[in-house]
Amino acid sequence: MRLSTSTRICESVLWDKKHLYYDLGDTVRKIALAGYDSVDLFFPSYCEKGDKILASDRWESFAEKALDIAQSNNVVFSQSHGFFYPPFKAYEIADEWHETLICRTIITAGKMGIPVVVLHPFFSADDGIKGKSLKLNIEKFSRYGEIAYSAGTRIAIENIFGNPNRLHRFGASFEDLIELLEHLDDECFGICWDTGHGHLCGFDQRVAIKAIGRHLIATHIADNDGKTDLHTAPFLGRIDWINVVSSLKEIGYSSDFSFEIPNFTVGFDASFKDEALLFSKKIGEYLLALDGFHER
């Protein structure tokens, strides 16, 4: 089990318009100074913010630059998040530019030696008819899987949030993702369990994690109040963290325990952000020590 954090933890200062976004170098440097040695690279930020290098004709140079940054700060990019469509948009008609960015992030992850790219599942406008969304996802991920295989990386499909008891939004339940993997039938694919999204859907984390079992190859660790996707640090919401950690231990999960908690740090002034990052690392160490579950 490896503690890591998304680059989103230190991308911006909410109240400082002069330094609204940190570039990747500053982000990784601050994460490393907090004691993290593994980093989850959030590719969408480098498609849509700053100089938008992954959305430019310079996109192929990003991998080398990012690896130089990692090496100079003694960290590794151990997980990543690919580009994604707007979260609540249906996907019958593919957007060529969005598809291009998704594919670029998969290819870039492979060039960087990042073992996993997290991607969101898709849902049909007729999402009450589950079969339509399932078919759509099989088609989409079959294509992405070919790209990932050629690039030398894997795809972790993330549980999204929605209320499966009121409206079946495909991918909100762990059962959807397991079924999708059964249809894809390829070791290129696994599941990313997002604790915050699971909590919003009302799932028992233990039941979900144990059902996913060997398919779990990535995590997004964040807390919330059960109502809003807050992306804040553990213990600041309502998730039972002993339940989460002990369940991961029981299934023998050994990949990244990766914080996705940008809203824990975004409000802190730049002069205090380093302290917040240090505290987040302590939270992670405490979590991994629960019930004898230690970082290794």
The percentage of residues in the chain with a pLDDT greater than 90, rounded to a whole number, is 79
CA-closest candidate to residue 167, choices 212, 207, 130: 130
Q: pLDDT by residue (tens digit) across 280-296?
A: 999 999 999 986 554 44
Q: What is the mean pLDDT of residues 221-245?
A: 97
pLDDT given at position 294: 47
Yes or no: say if 158 and 195 are a contact pair by the CB < 8 Å rule. Answer: no
pLDDT given at position 163: 53
Residue 196 has pLDDT above 70, yes or no: yes
CA-closest candidate to residue 63, choices 153, 140, 190: 153
Residue 206 has pLDDT above 60, yes or no: yes
- Average of per-residue pLDDT values in the chain: 92
Q: What is the mean pLDDT of residues 50-55?
A: 91
Note the pTM of the prediction, 2 decimals.
0.94
How many residues are listed for the chain in this entry?
Answer: 296
Domains in the chain and their CATH numbers?
Answer: 2-292 (3.20.20.150)
Q: What is the mean pLDDT of residues 158-174?
A: 77
Residue 81 main-chain phi, psi, to 5 deg: -125, 120
Strand ranges across the sheet with 116-119: 216-220, 189-194, 154-158, 116-119, 76-81, 38-42, 2-6, 256-259
> Which amino acid, residue 128?
G
User: How many CA atoms within 13 Å lie on the side-chain side of 231?
Assistant: 14
Q: pLDDT by residue (tens digit) across 120-161?
A: 999 877 655 678 889 999 999 999 999 999 999 999 999 998
CA-CA distance, 226 to 219, in Å (whole number)?
Answer: 18
Residue 46 has pLDDT above 70, yes or no: yes
CA-closest candidate to residue 208, choices 222, 225, 191: 191
Other Cβ atoms closer than 10 A to 172: 25
DSSP 71: H
Q: How confident is the model at residue 117 (pLDDT cuts 50, 70, 90)?
A: very high
CA 3 to chain centre: 13
CA-CA distance, 16 to 200, in Å (whole number)?
Answer: 31
Q: Per mean pLDDT, which range of 8-22, 51-65, 88-102, 132-146 is the poorest?
A: 8-22
